[in-house]
Amino acid sequence: MNEAHRVAVIEDDPQLRRFLTAGLEAHGYQVSCSESGRAGIASIVTVKPDVILLDLGLPDIDGTALIDEIRAWSQIPIIVVSSRIAVGDKISALDHGASDYVTKPFDMGELLARIRASLRQNIRTSGTEPTFTVDHLVVDLLRREVRRDGALVKLSPREFALLRFLVANADKVLTHQMILKEVWGAAHLHDTHYLRIFIGRLRQKLELDPARPRLIVTESGVGYRLRVNRPEERMVAATGAAAHAPA
């Protein structure tokens, strides 16, 4: 890594702070820790991190409210790291503007992959990348063309709008409501059956095995993610086994 990316950790559990700091520093990140929401905000203002790791259960302020505060003035990627595993908590955090969500106990390799994805996401939204390539697929956003192994794929305007939104947010979890609002409009926030049908059509056209999608993956009960980064496969390929973080 040329220039160390800065990670702000907002977490009240001292053991977890030490674990995260050690794991992140070992991978070249510069880490600043805060043990409360208020201290976290102050640290974000001074440190200007590239990504924020946020616990939801903090002593002074709820993490979701903290996301609102940060989003009022900053688009820094926020990855929620929480022991709240209910789908409702995930949806709420994402709808409030979190970029991603990792459940405790987490796998350090997975967390690092999410951090890399968030950093890329930040670059992608600030720059203009007209062509997007993943596996056998090339999406040309300017020409509105999609090619699969070089062959042109015909998509309806709505299918393309859906794919474009997924591509613009690659590796990020998008809730049903976020997608419905963007692609169908605010009047269709509850029409999740539209979404299911169109996701099915995109998978038929784009996935190698539509019954076992690897590109457009379901985040159970929450939404969908266009998966570009596949940490577990790379880790297995690189080390022969995935290393797991303690609970």
Q: Which residues bind Ca ion (CB under 5 A)?
A: 12, 55, 57
Angle between helices 231-239 and 108-126 (to 10 degrees): 130
Q: State in angstroms the smallest separation of the CB of 99 from Ca ion.
A: 19
Report CA torsion sign: 209, 201, 127, 138.
positive
Of 103 and 122, which CB lies nearer to Ca ion in the complex structure?
103
Q: Which two tokens stand for residue 91?
A: 């949806």
Phi, psi of 106 (to 5 degrees): -115, 165
Of 57 and 105, which CB lies nearer to Ca ion in the complex structure?
57
Q: State in angstroms the smallest separation of the CB of 82 from Ca ion.
A: 8
Q: State in angstroms the smallest separation of the CB of 107 from Ca ion.
A: 19
- C-alpha to C-alpha distance for 171 and 183, rounded to whole angstroms: 18
Return the residue nearest Ca ion (CB atom). 57
Residue 79's contacts (CB-CB under 8 Å, 6 or more residues apart) are: 51, 52, 53, 54, 98, 99, 100, 101, 102, 111, 114, 115, 118
CB atoms within 10 A of CB 154: 8
Of 80 and 146, which CB lies nearer to Ca ion in the complex structure?
80
Q: State in angstroms the smallest separation of the CB of 20 from Ca ion.
A: 12
Of 66 and 174, which CB lies nearer to Ca ion in the complex structure?
66
DSSP one-letter string for 32-96: EEESSHHHHHHHHHHH--SEEEE-S--SSS-HHHHHHHHHTT----EEEEES---HHHHHHHHHT
Q: State in angstroms the smallest separation of the CB of 56 from Ca ion.
A: 7
- C-alpha to C-alpha distance for 232 and 227, rounded to whole angstroms: 12
Of 60 and 68, which CB lies nearer to Ca ion in the complex structure?
60
Of 104 and 148, which CB lies nearer to Ca ion in the complex structure?
104
Q: State in angstroms the smallest separation of the CB of 32 from Ca ion.
A: 18
Q: Which of 109, 90, 39 is nearest to 225 (CA)?
A: 90
Q: State in angstroms the smallest separation of the CB of 12 from Ca ion.
A: 5
Of 28 and 57, which CB lies nearer to Ca ion in the complex structure?
57
